[in-house]
Amino acid sequence: MKKSSGQYWDETWNPIVGCPGPKASPGCQNCWAENLAGRFHDHDHSKLEFRPEILAKPLEWKRPRRIFVCNTADILNPWVSLEAIDRIMDTIYKAQQHTFIFCTKRPENLSRFLPFELPHNLELGISGCNQAELEQNLNDYFAWAFETDNFPFLWLSLEPMLGPITLDNWLGFHREFIDRVVIGCESGPHRRPCKIEWVENLVDQCRENDIAVWVKQLDLKGECVREIGRFPKHLQIRELYLP
């Protein structure tokens, strides 16, 4: 397996910032992006802002990059206009040298991507912070995928992991559609615990089923640890893809 370290992206690109409306998930309770916006007064997180002036930015980057799109927002927040989605997708189609990474806590809104066939240079992340949320979100995702015949590279963002999570219900027929699992504890001063055995069990399950795993950060004795060298040896795993 190809191994890597650090983050699973090289660059962020935020043509949309802010995430208004009702919180989408228990994982939003200590929203990292909201804290960041409050600290740097860069924007008001409770308001959505579209920044068309940076839409062309990825086209200027010649070296291929992994680009996280809107990492302080959710592109499927219903406040995001269809025009904004259209223009973001247009850049992604044109910038074929890059890989673009989306993550959403609102897969029930995936039809907002239509009429697009999702580009091949896009990795779609579906989020789940506990078992119930993951089940709901994957049900929504697969309903959309089969209805529209869209099967992008799929990764699961199990972060913040707030309870034990198993992929039991998704390892039969659906297994071939799941490409990567990213696991991480919550960060910030109000972080909630993430037990190491939850992470271990999920990593084992991914290993047994040939799913790439990226352990992003761990709750070690109440501290959110990001440096992989401080992880227990068996959890020092950061894989982008299977060979």
Q: Which residue, 161 or 237, is less far from ligand SF4 as judged by CB? A: 161
Burial 158-176 (b: 16+ CB within 10 A, else e): bbbbbbebebeebeeeeee
Residue closer to ligand SF4 by CB (options 34, 239) is: 34
Measured CA to CA, the distance from residue 44 to residue 26 in angstroms comes to 21
Q: In angstroms, rounded to a whole number, what is the distance separating the alpha carbons of residues 102 and 87?
A: 15
Candidates 17-25, 57-65, 113-121, 219-227; binding stretch for ligand SF4 (CB under 6 A): 17-25
Per CB under 6 A, which region of 6-14, 16-24, 165-173, 192-200 contacts ligand SF4?
16-24
Residue choice 8, 14, 16, 19 for contact with ligand SF4 (CB under 6 A): 19
Whole-number Å distance between alpha carbons of 167 and 149: 23
Taking the least distance from each CB to ligand SF4, the nearer of 28 and 118 is: 28
CA distance 157 to 8: 12
Q: Scanning residues 72 to 101, which ones bind ligand SF4 (CB under 6 A)?
A: 73-74
The rounded radius of gyration (Å) of the Cα atoms in the chain is 17
Size of residue set near ligand SF4 by CB under 6 A: 11
Span near ligand SF4 by CB under 6 A; candidates 24-32, 136-144, 179-187, 221-229: 24-32
> Which residue's CB is nearer to ligand SF4, number 102 or number 170?
102
Residue 167 binds ligand SF4 (CB under 6 A)? no
Sign of torsion over alpha carbons 138, 74, 203, 189: negative
Distances (CA, A) of 46 to 72, 115, 178, 228: 11, 28, 32, 33
Residues 31-50 that bind ligand SF4 (CB under 6 A): 31, 33-34
Binding site for ligand SF4 (CB under 6 A): 19, 23-24, 27-28, 31, 33-34, 73-74, 105
